[in-house]
């Protein structure tokens, strides 16, 4: 039953039900509603202070996820920087010294990329510090990658140039390595024919008459005729890179001026033309006009079979170029 209130009416000595005017009922209702709202607010405030609001909890979870993602990103950056440092070491310690290239200064490897204002747009966030730090590291990594990429491009170009140079520089013996060698680069007190003291600027090979003579590197024939300096039938090849080779006292010349030859091509046959005391080959290497010792330019460990196998390989490979 609903709670009801009664009063004793002294006029007729009867209990009558108390009936409040509508204004009081309205006030009671307002008081009840205000109290309910107040209690609800108090409980909500206490709950939020203890456990946080659902929205705040969701935001905190998102912030935690972002922190975790940034942590993973920084681990990836650490690994990438370690790999780049390894590439840098290979660059500076292996490739550049071998290819005779200068080292890259640290000022270029780690260039500046602007002040802190560049990352001012990251201010004001919960994790501004980690966001700025990660952004700066990413920028540094991009710069390092760019420099290293350009370095490897330059190394590749230098490598291609060296590969080409190795084909042109005179790097094999002009005749079979089993052929006995005569006088080398030295001062002769008595020339075998002229009898006068003078320098001998090449290497003599005691090649029998008609021995095949090979170009020792790629190049262009710039002389193929009788030489008035005593070499008789003579071939001179310009290999580029400052190198020229001379093949003297030939019995027969098999190339002509202007012809491009490859290493291993037959350019003539040995003989005893010109100022010569007998069949042999005079072989000479000049580098920018300075006489070089030819014995420094070929492998002396090959036997006869290995030498001709090399010549066969050289001549067969050039046909397909």
28's CB contacts (< 8 A; 6+ apart) are 20
> How far apart, in whole angstroms, are the C-alpha atoms of residue 274 and residue 295?
24
pTM of the model: 0.58
Helix (H) or strand (E) holding 297: none
The one-character DSSP state at 294 is G
282's CB contacts (< 8 A; 6+ apart) are 202, 203, 204, 231, 246, 247, 248, 249
pLDDT in tens, the chain (321 residues): 456 666 566 666 666 666 667 676 677 677 777 777 777 777 666 766 665 566 666 766 666 676 667 677 777 778 887 887 888 888 888 778 877 788 888 777 776 655 556 666 666 566 666 777 777 777 777 888 888 888 888 888 888 888 888 899 998 999 988 888 877 766 565 556 555 667 678 899 999 999 999 999 999 999 999 998 889 999 999 999 999 999 999 999 999 999 999 999 999 999 999 888 889 999 999 999 999 999 888 877 777 888 888 888 877 764 434
Enter the tokens of residue 58: 């969701």
Note the pLDDT of residue 298: 85
Enter the tokens of residue 83: 């790999």
Note the pLDDT of residue 319: 45
> How far apart, in whole angstroms, are the C-alpha atoms of residue 221 and residue 247?
11
> How far apart, in whole angstroms, are the C-alpha atoms of residue 206 and residue 222?
25
Enter the tokens of residue 21: 């005017």
Enter the tokens of residue 204: 């003599």
The architecture that CATH gives domain 186-318 is Distorted Sandwich (2.70)
């Amino acid at each position: 039953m609903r709670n009801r209130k009664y009063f004793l009416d002294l006029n007729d000595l009867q209990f009558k039900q108390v009936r409040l005017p509508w204004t009081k009922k309205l006030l009671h209702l307002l008081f009840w509603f205000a109290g309910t709202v107040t209690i609800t607010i108090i409980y909500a405030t206490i709950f939020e202070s203890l456990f946080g609001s659902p929205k705040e909890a969701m935001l905190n979870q998102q912030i935690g996820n972002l922190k975790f993602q940034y942590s993973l990103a920084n681990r990836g950056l650490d690994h990438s920087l370690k790999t780049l440092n390894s590439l840098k070491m290979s660059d500076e310690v292996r490739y550049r010294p071998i290819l005779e290239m200068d080292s890259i200064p640290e000022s270029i490897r780690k260039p500046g990329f602007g002040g802190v204002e560049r990352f001012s747009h990251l201010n004001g966030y919960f994790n501004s510090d980690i966001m700025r730090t990660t952004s700066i590291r990413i920028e540094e990594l991009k710069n390092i990658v760019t420099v290293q990429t350009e370095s490897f491009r330059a190394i590749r170009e230098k490598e291609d140039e060296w590969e080409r140079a190795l084909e042109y520089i005179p790097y094999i013996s002009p005749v079979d390595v089993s052929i006995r060698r005569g006088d080398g680069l030295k001062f002769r007190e008595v020339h075998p024919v002229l009898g006068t003291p003078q320098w001998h600027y090449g290497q003599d090979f005691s090649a029998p008459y008609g021995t095949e003579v090979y170009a020792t590197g790629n190049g262009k024939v710039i002389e193929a005729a009788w030489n008035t300096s005593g070499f008789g039938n003579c071939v001179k090849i310009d290999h580029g890179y400052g190198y020229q080779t001379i093949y003297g006292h030939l019995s027969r010349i098999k190339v002509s001026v202007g012809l491009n030859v490859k290493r291993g091509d037959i350019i003539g046959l040995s003989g005893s033309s010109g100022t010569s005391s007998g069949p042999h080959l005079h072989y000479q290497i000049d580098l920018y006009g300075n006489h070089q010792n030819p014995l420094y330019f070929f492998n002396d460990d090959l036997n006869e079979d290995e030498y001709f196998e090399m010549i066969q390989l050289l001549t067969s490979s050039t046909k397909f170029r």
